[in-house]
């Protein structure tokens, strides 16, 4: 029996594949490589010393998905595939709704047709919207997303909950990630954004490696300790390990459950810059710039449910993540395109 990993060649997917293989699971990676490279699969095999099947397929391709479920003995799905750029989603909302929501509905239909009813889904802290006050916990009312990307996560959560209500044989685990950063300690896999990075950590590491001149810190007048935005940065390997336990639980019980995957601690933009400098010995020049539209001041998790129910807790800190990001970035300055 194998786990189908949609978007398995992506940043979080690839790290999760490593941890699943290390845990002795069998996987099939499915990706359309719209935001990744097949080279990732080779590196996951190299890190783990284990082999697995890979399929180039789009989750919107119903026929293609049927073939995958007919060919392989799939008993569960970890669903990472989706578009994730907040700014781009405001320019191209229909692409986001079609790819993320349309693709997910298609995947769920094909799963049902093959009687595969266990799914772990990549959601986001963005569903807590602007009105809730951190720490965010799973029982808070969600909504009020500020961009189409965030709205796709909100709708997919609702679709999964409705599906479960219609048929309790489904087992659904919705994982709300906070801010994933870092890389595998080998330095062989990591985050490889196309073009100018939108997110803080890849931007910092590209400044450090000399690809960008300086970081713009978006606002220093928030109501936070140093005035810069506060986020819950979670090491991608801790996040990956969260998927292993979430899937194990989903295989055992038929429920629809939501878990925050975060550290429970807020770190400001300037604190992350300083942690990076300390962990790497490399200076990161920055300027204070205006606030970025749509940003909230503070986002961090109440991560106690995942610890209580899944027995999962983040064990790596921002310093570890900075060190591992740097190890990846300096050895792969152009990501996978070398």
The residues binding ligand UFG (CB under 6 A) are 84, 86, 124-126, 150, 178-179, 198-200, 203, 215-218, 229, 231, 269, 292, 295, 299
Do you find a cis peptide bond into 135, omega within 30 degrees of 0? yes
Is 149 designated active site? yes
- CA–CA gap between residue 259 and residue 246 (Å, rounded): 9
For residue 11, the minimal CB distance to ligand NAD (Å) is 4
From the list ligand UFG, ligand NAD, none, which binds 58 (C-beta under 5 to 8 Å, kind-based)? ligand NAD
For residue 152, the minimal CB distance to ligand NAD (Å) is 8
Residue 3 bridge partners (DSSP): 27, 76
Q: Among the options 11, 97, 128, 149, which is catalytic?
A: 149
- CA–CA gap between residue 299 and residue 142 (Å, rounded): 14
For residue 292, the minimal CB distance to ligand UFG (Å) is 5
Residue 82 binds ligand NAD, judged by CB under 6 A: yes
Site string for ligand NAD, 48-67 (x = CB under 6 A): ----------xxx-------
From the list ligand UFG, ligand NAD, none, which binds 332 (C-beta under 5 to 8 Å, kind-based)? none
Among 52, 69, 72, 80, binds ligand NAD (CB under 6 A): 80
From the list ligand UFG, ligand NAD, none, which binds 231 (C-beta under 5 to 8 Å, kind-based)? ligand UFG
Burial class, 141, CB count within 10 angstroms (exposed 0-12 / middle 13-18 / buried 19+):
exposed
Helical ranges in 82-214 per DSSP H: 86-91, 93-96, 103-113, 148-166, 200-208
Backbone φ and ψ of 101, nearest 5°: -80, -50
- Is the separation of the CB atoms in 126 and 291 below 8 Å? no
User: Which residue, 112, 110, 82, is CA-closest to 96?
Assistant: 82
Q: Return the active site residues.
A: 149
């Amino acid at each position: 029996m194998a786990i189908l990993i949609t978007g398995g060649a992506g940043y979080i997917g690839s790290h999760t594949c490593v941890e699943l293989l290390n845990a002795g699971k069998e996987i099939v990676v499915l990706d359309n490589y719209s935001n990744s490279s097949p080279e990732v699969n080779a590196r996951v095999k190299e890190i783990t010393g284990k082999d697995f099947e890979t399929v180039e397929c789009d989750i919107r391709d119903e026929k293609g998905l049927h073939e995958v479920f007919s060919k392989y003995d799939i008993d569960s799905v970890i669903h990472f595939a989706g578009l994730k750029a907040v700014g781009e989603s405001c320019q191209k909302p229909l692409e986001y709704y079609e790819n993320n929501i349309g693709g997910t509905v298609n995947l769920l239909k094909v799963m049902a047709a093959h009687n595969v009813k266990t799914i772990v889904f990549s959601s986001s802290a963005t569903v807590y919207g602007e009105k809730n006050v951190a720490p965010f916990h799973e029982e808070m009312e969600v909504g009020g997303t500020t961009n189409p990307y965030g709205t796709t996560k909100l709708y997919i959560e609702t679709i999964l909950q409705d599906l479960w209500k219609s048929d309790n044989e489904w087992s659904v685990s919705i994982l709300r990630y906070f801010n994933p950063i870092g890389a595998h300690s080998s330095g062989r896999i990591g985050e490889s954004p196309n073009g100018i990075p939108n997110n803080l950590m890849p931007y910092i590491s590209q400044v450090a490696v000399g690809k960008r001149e300086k970081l713009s810190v978006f606002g220093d007048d928030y109501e936070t300790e140093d005035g810069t935005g506060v986020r819950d940065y979670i090491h991608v390997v801790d996040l990956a390990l969260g998927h292993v336990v979430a899937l194990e639980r989903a295989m055992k019980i038929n429920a629809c459950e939501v878990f925050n995957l975060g550290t429970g601690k807020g770190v400001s933009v300037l604190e992350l810059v300083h942690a990076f400098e300390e962990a790497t010995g490399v200076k990161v020049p920055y300027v204070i710039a205006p606030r970025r539209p749509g940003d909230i001041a503070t986002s961090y998790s109440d991560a106690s449910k995942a610890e209580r129910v899944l027995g999962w807790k983040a064990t790596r800190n921002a310093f570890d993540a900075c060190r591992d990001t740097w190890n990846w970035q300096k050895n792969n300055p152009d990501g996978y395109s070398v």
